[in-house]
Each structure stands twice: as C-alpha cells, then as structure tokens.
Amino acid sequence: MPAVVVMLVVLGVFFLAYRYYSAYLANRVYALDPAFTTPAHELRDGVDYVPTNRHIVFAHHFISVAGAAPILGPAIAVFWGWGPALLWVVLGTVFASGAHDFGSIVVSVRHKGRSIGTLTREVISRRSRVLFLLIIFFLVTMVNAVFAIVIAGLLVANPEAVLPVLVTIPLAIAVGQVVYRRRSTALVPSLVALLIVYVCIPVGQLLPITVDPIAGLVGIQPATLWLVLIFVYTFFTSRLPVWMLLQPRDYINQQQMLLALAVILVGVLVGMNTIEAPVFRSVPEGSPSWFPLLFITIACGAVSGFHSLVSSGTTSKQLDKETDARFVGYMGSLGEGTLALCSILACTVGVMLYSANADTSWGALYVDWETAGDDPGNTFVQGVAGLAGNLAVPEAVGVVFATVVVVSFAATSLDTAVRLQRYIIQEVAHISHGVLRDGPAGRALRTLSRNVTLATVLAVAIPFGLAMVPGDFAVGTLWLLFGTTNQLTAGLALAVIAVWVTRNGRNPIMVLIPLVFLVVMTTWALVIQLLDFVRSDDVLEVFLLAPLDAVILVLALWMVVEAAIALRRAWSGRSEDPAGSQTGASVDDSGDQSTSAD
C-alpha cells in the first residue's frame, strides 16, 4: 500500500469530520451560543480568566495535550499491524476524542470555568469527586514513570541529543522573560530559540554528552542516573511559576511540533514509499490480542482523559466566545490524531528506510510484544530519521532532531503531570483530614495539605519509585496500565458531558456511544491483564502490577455505577423545553457561525 494514499485519505477524513461532524456537535448536541458570556469575560482577572483570540487559545491547548503519548502509543500498537492502529486513531479521533475534548470545554464554560473534578462532584455525585482524584492519581503516576523511562532511554541511546535538549531549558526561560516582562509576542522569540536549538544539533554531534563515567563511579547504570537527574529536575521545575519555563517551552514546542509534522508528512509525500508492514498481523503465539488491548494502548491520539483536565483547567477560562470551543477543542483532537498518524507512518515506513534496519524485515523489529514495548520512543526516532532522509536530511541529524522532539514533548508533559500530582496529593490530604481531624494522622494530613514542598517530594518520589522498580517488564507493560487509567478519565469526563447534555433536553447518543465503548474495552482489558499478572512467574507482576490493576478495575466498576445512576436521574429530570435549551450558534458546512436557533 502506498503510504501517501493512506496519509491523504486520513487527512481527508479529518477535514470532512471538522467541516460536518463538529458542526453537528456544535449545533445539535452542545448548542453553542455566540451570545453567551464566557467565564473569560464574566470572571476576567487578567491572570487565569482572560478573553483570548481563538488561534492563540488553540496553540496553548494543542501543545498542552499533544505530548509524547500520541507518539508512543501508536509506536507500540503497530505490533498488531497498521490497520487496527490506524482504524482506531481515525474513528477514535473523529467520534470519541472530538466529542470528549469539545464537550469538556463547553461544559466547563457553562459552569464558570470549573475543572472536570469539580464538575464530576456537581454533575455526577459527591462520591465521584473521590473517584476522580483516585483515577487521576494513578494516571499521572503512570505518565511520570513511563515518560521518565523513555527520556532516560533516549538520552542514553543518543548522547548527541543531550546538548540541544539541555539548551532548550535556558532558552525557554529567556523567552519567558521576553514575553512576560516586556509584554512581547511569543512568535519571534520562540522561533529564534528553536533556531538556536537546531544550531546546537551539529555541535552536539561533535560534543556528545554522556553520564557513563559518573554512573560507573557511583556504581549504577547510566539510565538510572538519568532517571535521578530527571526527577530532581522535575522537582524544581514544578515549583517554578508557569510563565517562567512551562509556558515559554510550549511556545518553542509549538513551532517544533509543526516542523516535525511537516518533516514526516512531506517526507512521505516526496518518498512515495510503500508500507511494508502488514495491515493485520498474525502475531506470535502467546502475544496479547489487539481486541481489546489496542483501545488502551492507543489512548492519546484516539481519545485521552488527560485532555479533559486541560480543557476544563485552562482552555475554558480563555475562550472569547463559546463558539470558539469548536475550533479549539475539535481541531485540537484532529491535530493530535494527525500526530498519531505520523507515528504510525514513521514506525511502518520510515523505520525501514533507516540504514541500521536496511537488511532487516519489519517483522524482526516487532518480533514479539516485549520488543515492541521495550523502546517505542527510539523506534519512532529511527522512523523520523528515515523519512527525513527523503528530504536530503543526513540520517545522523534526523536522529538527533527526532530525539529532541520526543524528549521535549515528554519533558513538558512530565512537568505538567508532576505539578498536577502535587495538587492531587494536597487535595486528597485535605479531604482525608476532614474525615480524621484530630490525632497524629489528622495533623500529618493537615501539614501535607498545606506544605507545597512536602507534597512535591511525594509527587516526585512515587513515580520515581515505580520507574526504579527492578525487573524485566517493558515500557509497554506500564503503558497498558497508563492507558486504562487514561481511558477511565475519559469515560468519567464523557459521563459528565452526557449527563449535562441530557439534563438540557438534548440527545446524548453521540456522547454515550464512545462512553460505553471505552468503559467496556477498559474493563475487559483490565480483567485480561489481571489474569495475566496473577498467572505470571514474575514476582513484580504478581505483587505490584496485579494489585495496581485490581485497584484500577474497582475504580472502573465504580465509575460505571456512578455514571448509570447519574444518567438515569438526568433522564428522569431532563428539561421539559428542549427547544429553549438548544438555542445557540448554527454552524454551516463551511464552519462559519451564525446566530440563528437550531
């Protein structure tokens, strides 16, 4: 199959989905109203609530949700063949992620910009607040552990990329100073910073940085030392104001994201290569089945609960008009779906153009499940380098470029997730203190809820401990647990959206379909994994991963019960005047909004 045909068909589907399906959601399901006063105007404070041009909001939203996850998930999932992976990316993006991300923004906007956690308590039930916190706790723990392992592995494998990666940090701080101190626009400073980063690529090739001597001196593996350095780094960066490092690095990553997508897509177009990987693969005996594990392996890039945290946490507070939610939310989903498409192309086309794999079949690169999940980041790096070769980019330069891209995205997600983990730990401590109050435990919880440093230490120590657990299980094993918690978060957000839509007298079917599908696939996958872990000869899988899986399974069943009760209650008390609740923007096929009623 010519890769360019696959690429153009998928991009064409995404175009039609935005033009028509997102308009349907905007008019008939979410009933956007251009006259509605958004929280950015109603609660304007110049800090969090700021009316912002939709293109700027889109850039923030897209970079915040498009980290390394839509790269790594598809890079593992093509083990089952590119057909199932691509099918889930397309259908998941169009019908699940689009409805989820778009709806999360709208529901938050209609509730004064409140976060999905608060909305879960208000819309579903008070008990669901605890459910939300527990699911998110496991989600960010897995994210932090896996992303740190991936970053460490890439830096060990590609020491030439260390210098460009390190240079990004002071450059981002400098961009932040220019933008926020001098009230400058971010475009020019971020482009200059990115140019400097890429100038450092040939310098990094001449001066590769390795921690091997230090690791040998203290008697640990280089990857272990990198893990220590990464988590020490995240401790400090998670304490910095967001404008100082996190946001300016988003500006740089935005330009880097567009360039990476262009390199892959144009490389496919110029190379006119065929996809050598099978559409559907007969996997080796003993390998896990793609049904249902595919739907949790590719989470980000198809549908991701993490997006609801961004949508309701920051994006909803910046919308100038409610109708901007369609462009920001649905288009952001399509952007991440495009990144997942690029990952599939890199790992099925570009990886076979990489010189080190010239005499190797694609099947040998994905010989078994453990190999597929062992180092998906490096597989993607090789694939990008191969496609960049179609553009006359030297392979060695392409490897460093792709490594910088993956590490930059993963580091940004890591910073955000550690910060989020700190918030969760403090909120859980606050709730627990309200129950225990007196006594040593109550006083300790009170201290934890108020002490930012202590909460940050725990937020770093917990995923670090998971990343440091000795054993031979691959990143892919932890990735499946990450996927289940991520999809549970998406299911919880979709439940909130479905209840809100139902209460307002509109048909929630297009929200309920992805909700039910995710719950069934996630629960099924959890049961399969639990049985595998319990039967395993690996002590770590039996005594660490099996209990984790069991806890997440309980949370999944709990979510089903809470969502069912809330939906039944919403259906019984739905609006008697659905026409009145649907008044809003009418979006025509060209994507323009008018003020007529539905």
Beta bridge partners of 52: 319
Q: What does the alpha-carbon distance between residue 338 and residue 340 come to, in Å, rounded to a whole number?
A: 5
Q: What does the alpha-carbon distance between residue 526 and residue 142 come to, in Å, rounded to a whole number?
A: 15
User: 266: buried, middle or exposed (CB in 10 Å: 19+, 13-18, 0-12)?
Assistant: middle
Q: What does the alpha-carbon distance between residue 144 and residue 137 come to, in Å, rounded to a whole number?
A: 11
- Model confidence at 598: pLDDT above 80: no
The answer to whether 395 and 389 are in contact (CB under 8 A) is yes
- Model confidence at 398: pLDDT above 60: yes
- SS3 label, residue 2: strand
Instruction: Return the pLDDT at 521.
Output: 94
C-alpha distance from residue 395 to each of 4, 311, 348, 351, 386 (Å): 21, 38, 17, 12, 7
Within 13 Å of residue 86, how many CA atoms lie on the same side as its CB?
Answer: 24
Angle (CA) 452-458-461 rounded to 5° is 140
Q: What does the alpha-carbon distance between residue 286 and residue 369 come to, in Å, rounded to a whole number?
A: 9
- Model confidence at 351: pLDDT above 70: yes
Nearest-CA neighbor of 331 among 317, 314, 311? 311
Within 13 Å of residue 310, how many CA atoms lie on the same side as its CB?
Answer: 26
- Model confidence at 259: pLDDT above 60: yes
Of residues 426 and 23, the one with the higher pLDDT is 23
The answer to whether 352 and 276 are in contact (CB under 8 A) is yes
Backbone phi, psi, residue 404, to 5°? -60, -40
> Per residue in 285-305, pLDDT tens?
888 999 999 999 999 999 999
Region of poorest pLDDT, from 88-102, 454-468, 571-585: 571-585
> Which parts of 282-394 fold into alpha helices (H)?
290-297, 306-313, 324-325, 331-348, 362-365, 369-374, 376-389
Which residues, including other chains, have CB under 8 Å from residue 351's CB and lie 6 or more apart?
Answer: 357, 362, 365, 379, 382, 383, 386
Instruction: Return the pLDDT at 585.
Output: 46
E-only strand ranges, 473-589: 586-587
Helix (H), strand (E) at residue 594: strand 593-594
Average pLDDT value for residue range 66-93: 95
Instruction: Return the pLDDT at 286.
Output: 83
Q: What does the alpha-carbon distance between residue 306 and residue 584 come to, in Å, rounded to a whole number?
A: 28
- Model confidence at 380: pLDDT above 50: yes
> Per residue in 98-143, pLDDT tens?
999 999 999 999 999 988 888 898 888 888 888 888 888 888 898 8
> Per residue in 474-518, pLDDT tens?
577 788 888 999 999 999 999 999 999 999 999 999 999 999 999
C-alpha distance from residue 21 to each of 87, 96, 339 (Å): 18, 12, 20
Instruction: Return the pLDDT at 132.
Output: 86
Question: What percentage of residues in the chain have a pLDDT greater than 90?
Answer: 61
Instruction: Return the pLDDT at 60.
Output: 77
Region of poorest pLDDT, from 12-16, 355-359, 432-436: 432-436
Beta bridge partners of 274: 2
Instruction: Return the pLDDT at 409.
Output: 87
Percentage helix, strand, coil, to 5, in the chain? Answer: 75, 0, 25
Mean predicted lDDT score pLDDT of the chain: 89
Nearest-CA neighbor of 534 among 561, 555, 519, 553? 553
Nearest-CA neighbor of 366 among 382, 386, 390? 382
Instruction: Return the pLDDT at 6.
Output: 97
pLDDT level of residue 37 (50, 70, 90 thresholds)? very high
Region of poorest pLDDT, from 90-94, 157-161, 281-285: 281-285
Beta bridge partners of 319: 52
Question: What percentage of residues in the chain have a pLDDT greater than 70?
Answer: 95
The encoded tokens of residue 81 equal 């063949």
DSSP count for the chain of H helices, then E strands: 29, 2
Instruction: Return the pLDDT at 471.
Output: 59
> Per residue in 178-206, pLDDT tens?
888 777 778 899 999 999 999 999 999 99
> Per residue in 325-344, pLDDT tens?
999 999 999 999 999 999 99
Name the DSSP letter for residue 305.
Answer: T
What pTM did the predictor assign? Answer: 0.90
- Model confidence at 583: pLDDT above 60: no
Instruction: Return the pLDDT at 589.
Output: 45
Which residues, including other chains, have CB under 8 Å from residue 383's CB and lie 6 or more apart?
Answer: 343, 345, 346, 347, 348, 349, 350, 351, 354, 402
Which residues, including other chains, have CB under 8 Å from residue 385's CB and lie 6 or more apart?
Answer: 350, 354, 393, 395, 396, 398, 399, 401, 402
Instruction: Return the pLDDT at 313.
Output: 83
> Per residue in 422-454, pLDDT tens?
888 988 888 888 777 777 888 888 899 889 899
Instruction: Return the pLDDT at 64.
Output: 80
The encoded tokens of residue 396 equal 């060695």
The number of residues in the chain equals 598
Instruction: Return the pLDDT at 210.
Output: 95
Q: What does the alpha-carbon distance between residue 300 and residue 122 come to, in Å, rounded to a whole number?
A: 27
- Model confidence at 591: pLDDT above 60: no
> Per residue in 209-236, pLDDT tens?
999 999 999 999 999 999 999 999 999 9
> Per residue in 264-292, pLDDT tens?
999 999 999 999 899 999 888 888 999 99
Contacts by 424-429, CB closer than 8 A, 24 or more apart? 424/133, 424/136, 424/137, 424/140, 425/137, 425/455, 425/458, 425/459, 426/450, 426/452, 426/455, 427/133, 428/133, 428/137, 429/455
Helix (H), strand (E) at residue 546: helix 546-572
Longest dimension (CA), the chain: 73
Nearest-CA neighbor of 186 among 242, 252, 258? 252
The answer to whether 128 and 336 are in contact (CB under 8 A) is no
Instruction: Return the pLDDT at 320.
Output: 94
Which residues, including other chains, have CB under 8 Å from residue 22's CB and lie 6 or more apart?
Answer: 98, 102, 326, 330, 331, 587
pLDDT level of residue 239 (50, 70, 90 thresholds)? confident
pLDDT level of residue 472 (50, 70, 90 thresholds)? low
Instruction: Return the pLDDT at 597.
Output: 30
pLDDT level of residue 161 (50, 70, 90 thresholds)? very high
